[in-house]
Chains A and B, each alone.
Chain A
Amino acid sequence: MAEPILQIRDFNVLFDTHDSEVHAVKNLNFDIGEGECVGIVGESGSGKSQLFLGALGLLTSNGRATGSVKYRGRELLGLPERSLNKVRGSKITMIFQDPLTALTPHMTIGAQMMEALRTHQHVPRAEAEKRCLEILDLVRIPEARNRMGQYPHELSGGMRQRVMIAMATVCGPDLLIADEPTTALDVTVQAQILEIMRDLKKELKTAIVLISHDMGVIAGMADKVQVMRLGEVVEGGSTDEVFYAPKHDYTKALLDAMPRIDRPMRKGHAILQPLSTIGAEKRLLDVEDLKVYFPIKTGGFPVSKVKPLRAVDGVSFSLRQGETLGIVGESGCGKSTLARAVMKLIEKTDGAVVWSGRDLSDLHGPDVRKLRKEFQIVFQDPLASLDPRMTIGESIAEPLVTLRPELTRTQVQDEVRAMMKRVGLEPGWINRYPHEFSGGQNQRVGIARAMIVKPKLIVCDEAVSALDVSIQSQIVDLILNLQSEFGMSMIFISHDLSVVRQVAHRVMVLYLGRIVELADRNSIYEDPRHPYTRALIAAVPVPDPKAERGKQHVTLASELPSPLDSRAQLSFLKSRMIDNPDAEQYRPKLVEVATGHYVAEHDPA
């Protein structure tokens, strides 16, 4: 075997903290070979990021690295900053999770790329520019020449991540370290970025280290995998070995916790009650032609125009008792706005929301507050949705205290304790504050707060998206168990189609504020009709290396267009489009293609 590019031996990373020394990475040994893709998997806190920060001398001042890291036989640890900089950024480069914070906001894309190129290789300006353009083409940035003059904030998240990759590859590195490169991106964009990285590996023979918590991403990309837990590698080997014959219990648990878009019902997990067994045919909620527009000022002084941003643009659906409706779509498609408008947390522009036969449009102030007993919401970020200055006991009790003022203090306390026990929290923790808990525990608090008034409808707004996979599967199980116990309906919003498949009876796909497809969960995943739905489903990575390798990578050609552009909604029905961004456009209608399966009109592929 040829000499490895990077050889890591007995590698440790330690941090001095006020309390004690934290051992973030423990005794690591592995090699990265020429042109190889190594996946590093682990949950938050497993030390997977610190590993490479430590290897490249980028630790914070209270951290230190011991052991040996050799780049082509040359020791990197303890190398002076100057010599290290020759390797770093030129031969070994990094891509980070958040492309906005990793790019300097006041420099144009071109200037930043040229800076990287010209500090490492002293090439003349014109040639540097040519190289940059080539690389931007390689990462498929359209109109590369214009983009060079733009600032980071002018680009979308996906574009920025492409720029980051371009910057990292412009010097022709041997090794590209990608730290959660797609975690902050939508699935469709994620698929595009991964495709680009795959090409880089093929064309430039760059070795890639892919750090991710997502087994699906790793499955499709990596040749070798290292599974990390609490600073240690618990299992390492070829991708197929690790995925098909995991030896360590943790790897098995991690694989088991991954929601699978191809296998909604799995052993050992809570299972969604089929609607027929619930037997409830009662319609709880009817939403008719709901519209939420936000006025956006475009153009500056002296003539500014107000254009409506159509966050939700004519959505109709109904929800039966005990049913779960999954809402999926990319960020900015209006899924959260829709749920908030249904709950009357924001004002709708037009349309009707009928709650058990009662139109909510005319309700105001105190009447709406009374209704809150019937529907509650669980938020995405468990820590941000809890008041940092309230004990979790108070937070859970809050809906009860406001909505059922007739209860005495002890009654409230008893209810809170009972609910805490039900969602898997120690009742004795009642006086603790949110910052003392982990994300998963805080999300349990959020669920307890929503459930305490025994609502008939719960909206889960990306309720499990911010959690680690193993925690995520526990919370999903909890939600499903609560549903079979209390029989409430749910609106489950998520960008993660695999989770939605596991929890929802019916799935609604939103695109720029409009429904493109609505069907029960099996038809939508097994027989998607709309090209957008198909692209979304194809973009979801599956933790199955063979399936991933064999997969045809259907990617959407373009990014999500601006919702201010009236043409945007017709991306899939170009034949009816009037080519004027301000014109009143045709709205695609929903067509029932099979019983209960609605698809928006679109051009045949």
Chain B
Amino acid sequence: MSAPGLTTRNTETIERALDIEGRSLWTDARRRLVRNKAALTSIIVLSIIALMAAFVPFFWPYGYADIDYANIACAPDWWPGTDAACRAGGYHIFGMDQNGRDLFVRVLYGARVSLAVGFVATLVSLLIGVTYGAIAGFVGGRLDELMMRFVDVLYSLPFIFFVIILMVVFNQNFFLLFVAIGAVEWLTMARIVRGQTLSIKQKEFIEAARAAGVGTFANIRHHVIPNVLGPVVVYVTLTIPTVILAESFLSFLGLGIQDPLTSWGVLIADGKDHMETAPWMLVFPALFMAVTLFCFNFIGDGLRDALDPKDR
């Protein structure tokens, strides 16, 4: 009798060795994301930009506030055409800005601010928006009414007015920028998530989970949120550029980043003013911003596909 018992045990061990753990959506998603070439390239490019932005003071000879009065708005050495007023020389590979500062280091300092704002504000809006929307949609009834009316009230506040009040009350502060932008961006997210949740709530698998004893919040976490991720990810990839642009707009109004610190929005605004005489001042920050936004879009697409098991 022992022989067949042994065989079953053997097959079981083999089965285990082949397929040790039950995988979850997230492990599968990671695997699929890495397999997506566009998304993977984008992740690498973004990481390079982020790493350069983080470590630029350690390897670059110029500081972001160092002014070289001799080389105001000079072209990089390799810039084509002979009509450039002057050549910057040295390591100024991106040329100089209108105040004689090295553009390369300034673009990377701008990346610090823009990426940070983009990430943090989007993350804030994601966390608040998804949680808020999922709870409102899932619980429903009076709580839903109350929560969504509150969103409506916030919606009706003019954005700029809101930011100016914040700035005046709490003084100008880099941190406030995140709060202000995040506080506005999560509203749309909450509405999207609530709408999706309402339709998912009707599905039978939610009832099946309730019958399995899963509580309200576990249900939201395990069943509702993974199933609303598709539209959420798409919206996030739209939010990041919006946030970066919002920051540049606030900086333009003098409510955001102040000189000599800078951001891509500020750099592009400056570059625009010198477009005819010093086009590099517009080209480089705009190029970085465009590449970054492309990367976010590819990552967003990749994430959406990776999170959809039907697309395996």
Contact = CB atoms under 8 A, between A and B. Distances in A.
B19 A431 contact: yes
B4 interface: no
Given A372-B211, A402-B213, A397 B22 contact: yes
A428 B205 CA distance: 23
Contacts of B15: 417, 427-428
Contact of B212 (A372, A409, A430): A372
A385 interface: yes
Given A345-B207, A385-B205, A449 B212 contact: yes
Interface in A370-398: 370, 372-373, 376-377, 379-381, 384-391, 393-394, 397-398
B214 interface: yes
A385 B212 contact: no
A388 B208 contact: no
Contacts of A389: 25, 226-227, 307-309
B309 A433 contact: yes
B214 A402 contact: yes
Interface in A446-502: 446, 449
B96 to A, nearest CB: 52
Given A389-B226, A389-B307, A428-B19, A384 B205 contact: yes
Contacts of B209: 387, 398
Contacts of B309: 388-389, 391, 433, 435
A394 B203 CA distance: 18
Interface in B274-312: 307-310, 312
A386 B21 CA distance: 20
Nearest to B312: A433
Given A384-B203, A433-B312, A435-B310, A391 B212 contact: no
Contacts of A381: 204
Contacts of B28: 391, 431
Contacts of A449: 208, 212
Nearest to A434: B309
Interface in A397-454: 397-399, 402-403, 409, 413, 416-417, 427-428, 430-431, 433, 435, 446, 449
A428 B307 CA distance: 22
B140 to A, nearest CB: 14
B22 A388 contact: no
A391 B22 contact: yes
Given A397-B22, A416-B22, A428-B15, A372 B204 contact: no
B24 interface: yes
A343 interface: yes
B3 interface: no
Contacts, number: 97
B210 interface: yes
Contacts of B87: none
Contacts of B207: 345, 379, 385
Contact of B22 (A384, A386, A394, A433): A394
Given A428-B15, A433-B309, A372 B22 contact: no
Nearest to B225: A389
Given A391-B24, A428-B15, A435-B310, A369 B208 contact: no
A377 B213 contact: no
Contact of A399 (B18, B213, B218): B213
A345 B18 CA distance: 39
Contacts of A384: 203-205
Contacts of A369: 213, 215
Contacts of B212: 372, 376, 398-399, 402-403, 449
A428 B226 CA distance: 24
B218 to A, nearest CB: 7
Contacts of A403: 212-213
Given A394-B22, A431-B22, A372 B213 contact: yes
Contacts of A379: 204, 207-208
Interface in B1-42: 15, 18-19, 21-25, 28
A387 B213 contact: no
A402 B218 contact: yes
B223 A387 contact: yes
A343 B205 contact: no
B210 A386 contact: no
Interface centre among B23, B212, B307, B309 (most CB of A within 10 A): B212
Most buried by A among B24, B204, B310: B204
B24 A394 contact: yes
Contacts of B222: 387, 390, 398
Contacts of A370: 213
Contacts of A385: 204-205, 207-208
Contacts of B204: 379-381, 384-385
Nearest to B211: A377
A428 B213 contact: no
11 contacts: A376-B211, A377-B211, A388-B227, A389-B25, A391-B24, A398-B222, A399-B212, A403-B213, A409-B21, A430-B19, A435-B310
Q: Rank and list the top 3 A-B pairs by shortest CB-CB distance, nearest first.
A: A372-B213, A399-B212, A393-B22
Given A388-B227, A388-B309, A389-B226, 16 more contacts: A343-B211, A372-B211, A372-B212, A380-B204, A387-B205, A387-B227, A388-B310, A390-B24, A390-B25, A390-B223, A391-B23, A391-B28, A398-B209, A409-B21, A431-B19, A433-B310
Interface of B: 15, 18-19, 21-25, 28, 203-205, 207-215, 218, 222-223, 226-227, 307-310, 312
